[in-house]
Amino acid sequence: MNIFIACSSSEEIPKKYFEKSFELLNEIFKKENDLVFGAYYKGIMNDAYKIALENKRKITGIVPEKYIDDAKNLKLNKKIVTKDIVSRGQELLKNSDICIFLPGGLGTILELSMALDKKRNGEIDSKIIIFNEFNFFDGYLENIKKIFDEKFTNEKFKEIFFVSKEISEIIEYIEENKTKEK
């Protein structure tokens, strides 16, 4: 399966986010899963890249023209260059069977919002997983709940994403969805 990992590209974040994400990424890429990512060499994004590389997984890097130099030293099986950040997000989603959102900054939130809206509109069929370690996404999820509660979006769309802070639950969800694909 092609798994898009959306996450921080910052080295400045608290160490606890690196540790739990590293644990999850190891579990994901020791199985037959390939990486789709934003082609950057820092932060949790770099951990995803290194772990996939160590496990000899296929790696697709998707990078906007503005940041093409960031990807020049990465060993990629496939590189896609896009016009801008929004088109990068669209390519990341288009090239993925599963999208996993780890703690990250504005880019991660943009990609998560894009994934939820595209899924809601039937534009993608990818599974969406939010790794809510240390309750990182609680504020975002509270806003989503308000959107449902106040009828800005139909409640049937509550089922379009999976949230967990448990690595074992996420791995189980991925494996269940692999079985359904076959």
Question: pLDDT for 53-106, tens place per residue?
Answer: 999 999 999 999 999 999 999 999 999 999 999 999 999 999 999 999 999 999
**Residue 78 to residue 36: CA distance in whole angstroms:** 9
Compute, in degrees rounded to 10, the torsion defined by CA atoms 44, 110, 87, 21: 20
As a three-state string, the secondary structure of 3-51 is: EEEECCCCCCCCHHHHHHHHHHHHHHHCCCCEEEECCCCCHHHHHHHHH
Cα 180 from Cα 182, distance rounded (Å):
6
Looking at residue 5, its pLDDT comes to: 98
Predicted local confidence at residue 21, as pLDDT: 97
CA trace torsion 84, 45, 5, 71 (10° rounding): 40
CB of 133 closer than 8 Å to CB of 155: no
Q: How far is CA 168 from the centre of its chain?
A: 17
Six token digits for residue 7: 């996450």
Query: CB-based contacts of 98: which residues, under 8 Å, 6+ apart?
Result: 1, 2, 3, 4, 33, 126, 127, 128, 129, 174, 177
Q: What is the pTM of this model?
A: 0.95
Asked whether residue 157 carries a pLDDT value surpassing 90, the answer given is no
As a whole number of angstroms, the distance between CA 150 and CA 15 comes to 37
Q: What does the pLDDT look like over 101-152, one tens digit per residue?
A: 999 999 999 999 999 999 999 999 999 999 999 999 999 999 999 999 999 9
The least confident of 1-10, 22-31, 43-52, 171-180 is: 171-180
How long, in residues, is the chain? 182
